[in-house]
Amino acid sequence: MSGKSFVVILKEPVSYKYGLALQEKAFSRVSSGEARGTLLLLQHKPVFTIGRSGGRENLLADEKTLRASGIEICETDRGGNITYHGPGQIVAYPIFDLSRWKKDLSWYVTSLEEVVIQVLEDYGITAGRKAKYRGVWVGDKKIAAIGISVHKWITMHGFAFNVKVNKDHFNLINPCGIKEFYVASLDDFLPEVDYWEVLKSVREKFSTVFGTDFTELPEKML
């Protein structure tokens, strides 16, 4: 059984279904013991995903409007309500065997939040958590959403961190089913922020928070 952890970084946005297929490949690799964990870092083409808590009631546009905007709708087995993925967002899918870290889902989700909080801290932005809502917040605006699933202590799905995202697309939903608060993107605070530098920081903070080094793996090797 390998104790190594890997990271796969995609350069171009991919469909949600393609990202799910990559997660399933990584899951097989981890469940077979070939890896302790595999971290996927990517961007999606515009899509609204609906989690196990539902979310179609929080969709504020009809299908014609969505098609005109080039946005797909996909149902998924992650936790949570409706959310948006699109270019300029860092989506992190950690496929981790928690039995080789800590069998504690609250600890795990808090650790995902901590990755983003530490990245933002390095950019001089104070972020935190809200008691009622999972995710990462800057004031009353949500900058990262979290939704996971776990099978035999192996995780799937993860977080979506808004870096240079088209926030107009969020106007078509109540993000995560939340009506009283809106979303933020890192470029609201730092207009010239470099997406790839932020992604590099996300990778580094995963190493810090989860106490492991991630060896880069080409996508074709999954």
> 88: alpha, beta or left, given left = phi > 0 and alpha = psi -120 to 50?
left
Give the helix ranges, DSSP H, for 63-215.
63-69, 105-122, 186-189, 195-210
Q: Which residue, chain included where needed, has tokens 């933020």?
A: 184
Distance CA 191, CA 22 (A): 31
d(CA 153, CA 151) in angstroms, rounded, equals: 5
74 classed as catalytic: no
d(CA 198, CA 189) in angstroms, rounded, equals 14
How far is Cα 82 from Cα 51, in angstroms, rounded to an integer? 6
Q: Which of 115, 146, 156, 176 is catalytic?
A: 176
Query: Which residue intervals of 1-146 are DSSP H helices?
Result: 16-31, 63-69, 105-122
Residue numbers annotated as active site? 176
